[in-house]
Structure 1
Amino acid sequence: MSHHHHHGDTSVESDGGLADLLDLDADVLHEYWTDALGRVRRAADDGPRRRIVDLGAGTGTGTLGLAHRFAGAEVVAVDASDEMLDRLRARALDQGLADRVRTVRADLDDGWPVDGPVDVTWASLSLHHFADPDRVLRDVHAATRPGGLLAVAEFAERPRFLPDAIGPGLEQRLLDELGRDQADRLPHLGSDWAARVTAAGFELVEERTFVIDVAGDADGSVGRYADLWFRRLRPRLAERLDPADTATLDGLLDGDGPETLLRRGDLHVRGTRTVTLGRRP
């Protein structure tokens, strides 16, 4: 991942495709994002909130969602990718938030990049990418005002899309291979984030698991989401799949075929994400 600290990590090194995937994630999983960010706002609703930080901001779904929910606050979006931050700034401008959204290009493995005290920090699908997430959490704690909030959103289960009839067991085999591929590259994926948050000095406020269950839609966004997910997955797993599974996956990604992900009506996004909230005493 070259330390872009992005959500998802199924990439070959192309920010453009990942940026599109993140935008589709916000669109398809709109209900999850609304619920998760709403809980952050409610948990932080006990005093003025002047500075919000989004760690590993990507294209800005969390950044802009928090800017809308915390009227008047400055929101600082941190990411290591210029391309991601360019797209985020354009979205902020379109939504009338450019005067309150600031971007910082930084690799958090190199140290804490945000000046001044912080009231709320949001880290969505980013902490598991860092070499030392415990050090990052301690840095967040040191930067947070007393009473300030930390929210960590991470995968509890990877998303699934396919009906069982497609290559029976195919998706499970793909996820198994993805897990093996990530075991060395992303050793912190699947951590007990509540334990790590409290070890950094925060008091645990809540740990909540959000169930994702979204059926295919008429506008085709679920199909586009699935297509990008598997298209980015395939190069990483190419040498791990047997020929039959490779052929099935290629058929799903063949843009001209009648059974492609972009043309199917039987896709269904399922999975879970966990949001852990901690407060600095």
Structure 2
Amino acid sequence: MTTHHIEDVGGDDLAAGPEAELAVEPHSGFLAEAAGWLRDLLVPADRVAAVRRVLDVGSGPGAASCELARVFPRAEVVAVDRSPSQLVRARTRAAALGLTGRLSTRPAEQPEEFGALGPADLVWTGNVCRHLGDQQAAVTSLASALRPGGLLAVCERGLPPRFLPRDIGIGRPGLQARLDAALEDRFAERRARLPGATSVVEDWPRLMAAAGLVPAGTRTFLIDLPAPLGPAARGYLRARLARLLAEIGDRLDLADRLTVEQLLDGDACTGILWRPDAFYLRAVTVHTARLCAGRRA
């Protein structure tokens, strides 16, 4: 399992390592809203205490794990990731929020390991399945961790972020559209090389139904941070652009590479750290399905 987190939407898997930490603040409102929606789907308001165990598969630094622990105050939350350093960050975050003793961590890397993580009342996974060769097998393995009546929440795709106007006054207009296209091309090539890569229609409710679950609803959440952005969001965007240049710079023409370099210039007024027109807008989609009581996936 590659380390990918809630901020990785579209064909974009740029938020990893330190960028994952920087991404937490711009996405914190979405995580709180999504966790509340899952609570309302899973149990009546007077039975929240009945949720005793939650898995966050592909947890990264534990932002979603900690939000789920807040929403389900009687639940043990298990942050699951392949990266030991991300699991350390998840434990550190939990300690800072007073959640020590309620959040534990566990390493896992392959779909066949997911079923061994259960049983759980809720399984949340953010942008993990699309980085595994057989997405249906990954969903089926996640479903196998559910208790009867439990809920699987799969955050996949949505709309890629926008954070600059079409014409930014430097380079050719339409830079972000070209960056998105390059990211999608790179993602498609990498996905084709994954072990056991299998082509499926990425209809997540259908994939969940094929795993023996009953689709329970899909919802798209809007993250809308208008200009002018605060320092945390600007720091995240600068880190994102730097990693983007390293990952797909060879796919860009010289003019676009130079434009991205100008955006990264920390001292220039045209840089992302100082531009008054920088904003952050994206849509994140979460698909859910339930394991019927009395039935195991």
Residues 253 and 261, structure 1, Cα contact 8 Å, conserved in 2: yes
- Other-structure match for 2:28: 30
Distance 1:5 1:108, change over 3 A: farther
Question: How many angstroms does 1:213 deviate by?
Answer: 2.0
Distance 1:179 1:103 in 2: 32
TM-score (norm. length: structure 1): 0.90
Distance 1:230 1:159, change over 3 A: same
- Other-structure match for 2:295: none
- Other-structure match for 2:248: 237
Question: How many angstroms does 1:143 deviate by?
Answer: 2.1
Which of the residues 69, 72, 78 maps onto 1:70?
72
Question: How many angstroms does 1:156 deviate by?
Answer: 1.2
- Other-structure match for 1:168: 173
Residues 119 and 147, structure 2, Cα contact 8 Å, conserved in 1: yes
Q: Which amino acid aligns with 2:280?
A: V
- Other-structure match for 1:140: 142
Residues 5 and 127, structure 1, Cα contact 8 Å, conserved in 2: no
Question: How many angstroms does 1:189 deviate by?
Answer: 10
Question: How many angstroms does 1:6 deviate by?
Answer: 3.9
Question: How many angstroms does 1:66 deviate by?
Answer: 0.5
Distance 1:189 1:234 in 2: 30
Q: More displaced, 161-170 or 113-122? A: 113-122
- Other-structure match for 2:62: 60
Residues 111 and 142, structure 2, Cα contact 8 Å, conserved in 1: no
Residues 223 and 280, structure 2, Cα contact 8 Å, conserved in 1: yes
- Other-structure match for 1:43: 41
Distance 2:81 2:201 in 1: 22
- Other-structure match for 1:14: none
Q: More displaced, 249-258 or 38-47? A: 38-47
Q: Percent identity?
A: 34
Residues 227 and 279, structure 2, Cα contact 8 Å, conserved in 1: yes
Residues 115 and 144, structure 2, Cα contact 8 Å, conserved in 1: no
- Other-structure match for 1:220: 231
Distance 1:190 1:253 in 2: 37
Which of the residues 10, 18, 21 maps onto 1:20?
18
* Number of residue equivalences: 275
Secondary structure of 2:137's aligned partner: helix
Distance 2:31 2:200 in 1: 20
* Cα shift readout 1:44-103 (whole Å, capped 9, x = no counterpart): 114511110001000111100011111121111110001111111011111111101110
Q: More displaced, 229-238 or 101-110? A: 101-110
Which of the residues 189, 204, 209 maps onto 1:184?
189
Distance 1:116 1:227 in 2: 38
Distance 1:263 1:54 in 2: 35
Distance 1:82 1:118, change over 3 A: same
Question: How many angstroms does 1:29 deviate by?
Answer: 2.5
Residues 80 and 105, structure 2, Cα contact 8 Å, conserved in 1: yes
Residues 205 and 215, structure 2, Cα contact 8 Å, conserved in 1: yes
Q: Which amino acid aligns with 2:158?
A: A
Residues 222 and 267, structure 1, Cα contact 8 Å, conserved in 2: no
Distance 2:5 2:135 in 1: 14
Distance 2:140 2:23 in 1: 29
1:3 to 2:8 alignment: no
Distance 1:180 1:44, change over 3 A: same
Which of the residues 255, 258, 267 maps onto 2:269?
258
Which of the residues 262, 268, 274 maps onto 2:279?
268
Distance 1:113 1:196 in 2: 17
Which of the residues 120, 125, 128 maps onto 2:127?
125
Q: Which amino acid aligns with 1:21?
A: E
Distance 2:254 2:231 in 1: 29
Distance 1:218 1:263 in 2: 9
* Cα shift readout 1:108-137 (whole Å, capped 9, x = no counterpart): 345226444211000112221122221122
Structure 2: runs of 5 or more not aligned: 193-198, 293-297
Structure 1: runs of 5 or more not aligned: 12-16
Distance 1:251 1:86 in 2: 35
Q: Which amino acid aligns with 1:225?
A: Y
